[in-house]
Amino acid sequence: MKLVKRDILEQVLASTTEPLLIVNVGQADWPVAFANSAFSPIGGDDVAGKPFADVIEEIAGRELALEVSETVRSGQETSFPVEFRSREYLLVLKPLLLSGDKTVRNYAAYWRSSNSSTTADGAEMHHALLKAKRRIRDLSRDDPITGLLNGGAFREVFEHDWAVAARDKGRLSVVVFRLNEFDAYIEVFGRHAADSCLRRVGSAIRRCLRRASDVVARPDGACFVALSHASDEHGVREFAARISAAVRELGLHHPRSGSSKFVTVNFEVAVADTANEKCGAADFLDTLLGTVPE
């Protein structure tokens, strides 16, 4: 079968009745490459070029945008129930893999109305299957205590984003946080309380992320790491300081802390000029994770 010309495909996509976006996930910030006219009532007419996560956040809120971002990073197909202006949709995310490609460079995102021709039972079964697949994926990628990404999953995300940033001659910012004197906290309160502390700190960091495309993980013990696509080191340091303040404001009592009566974190910031770094992504991350003081 011969390849169909681009303009023909665009005409077909434009005429589809389901709201549809094509997203370029091979570029930094995942810009929207195409939006059909059916999408206009949901997201407006000027979404082309906007970061995909920002578009989702404007439509459906930050929590869903974070979930969508994680799905896109994993390269999986999934769906989410979405309510918009009193109408129910199933937001379906489908990776588009070209012949010969090993990595996904584009995603299709379309809003399937609950009133579409697909039967309700069929749509529900499809959503349940994708949800189960997503849960299986999450079990291997999530830290069991905090629900954040684990170290291995974060490394995959970091190496992928590094390659994209290097191709675009962009920068990546990484902040490593470590809980101060956490061993002493465990000695006082025990492991269950320590796990609860880790969960609350992880949630505080996640809430502080500036964009849905930013990522936070718990690679080990009392360590958290955040990845941002911001390139201004001063701005990243202010971002890290806000997170540090947010953790302290949790008011988690720490009777053996030498610096504060509450749980606190220290942090290390690094901004990588990915196209000109002498080391690769793995070595850069290993070096950074090894520099944070206990």
Could you give the C-alpha distances from 136 to 20, 54, 213, in angstroms and in order?
A: 27, 27, 22
pTM confidence score: 0.73
**Tens digits of residue pLDDT in 228-275:** 887 788 999 999 999 999 999 999 999 999 888 999 999 999 999 988
Radius of gyration of the chain (CA): 21
Report the pLDDT value the prediction gives residue 180, as an integer from 0 to 100.
95
Report the alpha-carbon distance of residue 254 to residue 267 in Å, rounded. 18
Contact 141, 245 (CB under 8 A): no
Here the tokens at position 116 are 């579409």
Report the pLDDT value the prediction gives residue 74, as an integer from 0 to 100.
77
- Domains, in order of start, for the chain: 6-140 (3.30.450.20), 149-289 (3.30.70.270)
**Tens digits of residue pLDDT in 43-79:** 888 899 999 988 998 898 888 888 888 888 877 888 8
Report the pLDDT value the prediction gives residue 157, as an integer from 0 to 100.
87
Report the alpha-carbon distance of residue 257 to residue 114 in Å, rounded. 54
**Tens digits of residue pLDDT in 4-32:** 566 766 776 777 888 999 999 888 788 99
Report the alpha-carbon distance of residue 84 to residue 112 in Å, rounded. 12
Higher confidence at residue 6 or residue 290? 290
Number of Cβ within 10 Å of residue 218's Cβ equals 26
Residues of the chain with pLDDT > 90, as a percent, come to 38
Contact 249, 255 (CB under 8 A): no
Contact 256, 249 (CB under 8 A): no
**Tens digits of residue pLDDT in 99-115:** 777 778 889 998 887 65
